[in-house]
A and B are shown apart, each in its own frame.
Chain A
Amino acid sequence: MKRAPLLLILILTLATGCGGPTATGTPFTFETGIDPDSWASVPAGEFLMDLHNHATSVDYDYEMMVTTVTNTQFANYLNEALADGLIKIVGDEIVGYYPGDEFRGYEHEEEIAAGNWLHIPLDEPGLRLKQNGDSFEALPGYENHPMVHVTWFGAKSYCEFYGWRLPSEVEWEKAARGTDGRPYPWGDEIERENANFYSSHDLFEKIVGGLGDTSPVGFYNGKIYDGYRTIDSPSPYGLYDMAGNVWQWTGDVYEYQHYRYMRGGSKSDYEYNLRVWTRNNATPKYHSPNVGFRCARDTID
């Protein structure tokens, strides 16, 4: 009897500690009905930016992708860009040229020099792409999941290949929250069925446990998947996944620092990280199973 508490702790420990899945997870296919090739229009005008609602103006109309870039979209891009010679495979990496940033040698600033920089690592187990020589395709089940393990260089290169750009932080935040100062893209409160975040008890946490997995883009659109009900959670301008699932690279390059900024929070973050003003940053060569991106472009008349 005296050993019972210890035994209980041991059982609990083994039960909880050993069952963790890898980031690769188990692929399940869910069609969301949201087209990853669609774009949302964001009109020019003032909006309330950051935690303190500073009035900020964007004086031009622009468009942003309704969802983050998917594995299928990125695989297609790789095949085209490799064929064009824009990027190349070097060992276990795909690299591409970047002209470099102005370097001031400020405290903690690292030089981003002109040269070839990592776009995606090919030996990363969390990458959801299958390589066949110079040809890539999405892993089965992950076709409509967000592209992850892509560096800022890779994300920028993707957008620019098609004549688009990474959104600036201002563009990103306006697209996410509209003009009424809301903390989440869909409104003032967050429910577990609004987005994919840590311990949201979403379908993917149930399937693979722990931190869960990425959800297909546009997943939280009010549909019911295998009995799991989602809440339709677009931003005021109709963008999906502007909170949770994966952090999203933005395009700004700031003076005195080499960091690139990400927005939106991810599947591995608590809900407060999903507030629209929350910033994250990393070196531009950083990649992660929690980081993806979407593109912006000028409005096409």
Chain B
Amino acid sequence: MTRERSPMLSKRFKYLFQSTKGLVLVAIAMISIVTAIWGMLSGPMVEWGVKDVVVQLTGMKLVAAEREGRIIMLYHAIAMAVVAIQVYFITGIQSMRDQQRTTINATITVGYLTAMITGLGFAYFGHNFILHGLFLFGQALIFFSGILLAAALWPWKEEYYIKDPDYSRTKSGLDLERVAFFTMAVATLGSALFGAVTGSYWGNGHETFLAEDLIREPHKSPLQLAIIGHLHIMLTLIGVALTLVIGRWFDFKGPLHKIAMPFMIGGTIIITIGAWAVVPFEEIAHWIIYGGSVFVLMAGLFLVIFAWRKLIRDGLSEQGISKGTFGQGLKALLRDPLRFGATWQMVFMNFNVSFVGIFVAVKLDEIFRVWPARDERIILSGHWHVLSGIIATIILFYYADIAGLKGKARKWFGWVLIIFSDLAFGSATVFEMKRLFVTESAQQSLVNWVMLLIDIGLATVLVALALLMIWRLADLFQGKGRWATELAEEQRAIPAPAPVILTPPLKSSLPPDEEVQP
């Protein structure tokens, strides 16, 4: 009996910890578990008394003076897993030697799991400095895997040159999309160091702080500025990486691709320089960042235009329509909520993050600095959470596609994710900016409404995510479940240095409703 089971267990282990889809599944599951438990410590869960129960059940030690440190370790723990997911995506879609792919994935997996588990252990369950050491060790492994990734992505190798003129490339055939991935990887490594060097001064000149608590300090120390630069550039680069991954999902090419890739490369470099320049040249750093952001946002816009055109074109041609009406075009655009959703979120992000940020910057002294610091702080932490949330939903759209979600389940999951996440993010934005519409004395009704909508939106998204995870968990108990098929497909696709094909061609991923559903 045991001899029969072992190979099946080892196959599942191989799927979960060696295949790209399995690794992504494990990382999303880890984040889901952390979100489920730690999400109980804030917001309505505090009001309903759930926090107290969770703290008692888990034995968490929430020392009041350590809140800032705990939060920093919590979002590092989650961010490490998100970075790992993106690395899995990148090693899955970019050509590299199989050994490189395996080494990178293995290193970052050990790294993020170590950092996540020991970091949360240290922060929430008592200060054992072995745990803190392992937290740093895990992050060091992640950094090392980043170096390996950058080396594997090195674009100036002839075997990675491309001939297809539809894709952005130089005359000699240098693949500019690969250059964009490489640039992002190198910029991420430098920006991680930017935070790590400051972190190494912890207790020796650097004291724990949350950036939003320093907003109105007229003079910030270089170490404080470095952390502020670090946290902004890291999230930006996560956004850049994800945009590039989604571009490959859509097989982004053509004239827009040819403009977008140089924009993305240049924009990434400029923004990164701007974020680093915050320390020595704080006065001009913002202007450099604004300049770089224009290029990156334009590259994202080109991707969205390409993707929506493609969705419309393919949707119409599937119905045998060569040139449709506006209504037919709209129907074609919306027919696959996963693909539409991933790109729609990029557009929606502007209403919640980019435009809000620009408006706040323009009207800072006139409006926002008249408010108390705590109100301005809500905008900062709010837009940060919304941007992170939007990035998370885009990852989920992509993952749901590569996980094989089809038919009605695909539509339900996609639309629930779009509608309810945007309900939550939009309401959060109204909450952030509420002082524009209502005074403190008269805000209660508005606060009640938006808090309710945020809670409904987030709760529904989390339920959808839980169902997706349960589906994949149940699949692991099937002898010949999807996991077995996916493992076999990846093993077939391995001939190096070809990419592991994560995303099937667009048409084949859009089966009619009657096809196999989870």
Contacts and interface: CB of A to CB of B under 8 A. Distances in A.
A290 B375 CA distance: 12
Contacts of B440: 23, 126, 268, 288-290
Interface residues of B, number: 33
B46 A199 contact: yes
B455 to A, nearest CB: 10
Interface in B330-370: 364-365, 369-370
A281 B216 contact: yes
B64 A184 contact: yes
Contacts of B158: none
B219 interface: yes
B65 A280 contact: no
Interface-centre pick from A17, A23, A53, A288 (highest chain B CB count, 10 A): A17
Contacts of B64: 183-184, 188-190, 272, 275
B449 A17 contact: yes
A16 interface: yes
A218 B283 CA distance: 47
Contacts of A17: 445, 448-449, 452
Interface string A123-149: 011100000000000000000000000
B372 interface: yes
A210 B445 CA distance: 9
A181 B150 CA distance: 47
Contacts of B441: 22-24, 124-126, 289
A91 interface: no
Interface-centre pick from B47, B63, B445, B448 (highest chain A CB count, 10 A): B448
A57 interface: no
B130 interface: no
Interface in B437-467: 440-442, 444-445, 447-449, 452, 456
Interface stretch (A66-74, A77-85, A104-112): A104-112
B373 A23 contact: no
A288 to B, nearest CB: 5
B65 A108 contact: no
A256 B452 contact: no
A151 interface: no
Contacts of B320: none
Contact of B372 (A189, A209, A255, A286): A286
Contacts of B68: 51
Interface in B96-146: none
B218 A257 contact: yes
Contacts of B67: 272, 275
B445 A109 contact: no
Interface in A258-278: 259, 262, 268-273, 275
A282 interface: yes
A109 B444 contact: no
Interface-centre pick from B216, B444, B449 (highest chain A CB count, 10 A): B444
A19 interface: yes
Contacts of A18: 445, 448
B412 to A, nearest CB: 13
Nearest to B282: A107
B157 interface: no
B207 interface: yes
Given A270-B46, A286-B372, A289-B440, A107 B447 contact: no
Nearest to B451: A16
A contact face: mostly helix, strand, loop, or mixed: loop
Contact of A183 (B65, B365, B374): B65
A21 interface: yes
A172 to B, nearest CB: 16
A2 interface: no
Interface string B45-76: 01100000000000000011101100000000
A262 B371 CA distance: 13
Nearest to A21: B444
Interface string B365-391: 100011111100000000000000000
Contacts of A183: 64-65
Contacts of A270: 46
Nearest to A272: B67
A288 B452 CA distance: 24
A26 to B, nearest CB: 13
A113 B65 CA distance: 39
Contact of A22 (B371, B444, B447): B444
Interface string B202-218: 00000111000100101
Contacts of A280: 372-374
Nearest to B69: A51
Nearest to B365: A108
Given A108-B364, A110-B365, A275-B65, A286 B442 contact: no
Interface string A153-171: 0000000000000000000
A286 B370 contact: yes
Contact of A19 (B47, B65, B370, B448): B448
A184 B216 CA distance: 24
Nearest to A268: B440
Contacts of A181: 65
Interface in A87-119: 106-110
Contacts of A289: 440-441
Contact of A52 (B207, B213, B283): B207
A254 to B, nearest CB: 8
Nearest to A209: B444
Nearest to A107: B218
Given A20-B445, A51-B65, A259-B373, 19 more contacts: A16-B452, A17-B448, A18-B445, A19-B448, A22-B442, A23-B442, A108-B218, A108-B364, A126-B441, A184-B64, A190-B64, A209-B444, A257-B218, A275-B64, A279-B213, A281-B216, A286-B371, A288-B372, A289-B440
27 contacts: A9-B456, A13-B449, A18-B445, A18-B448, A20-B445, A20-B447, A20-B448, A22-B444, A23-B442, A24-B441, A51-B65, A51-B209, A107-B218, A107-B283, A108-B216, A110-B369, A183-B65, A211-B447, A256-B219, A259-B373, A271-B46, A272-B67, A273-B374, A275-B65, A282-B370, A283-B369, A289-B440
Interface of B: 46-47, 63-65, 67-68, 207-209, 213, 216, 218-219, 283, 364-365, 369-374, 440-442, 444-445, 447-449, 452, 456
State the 6 A-B residue pairs at the shortest beta-carbon distance, nearest first.
A20-B444, A183-B64, A126-B441, A20-B445, A23-B441, A199-B47
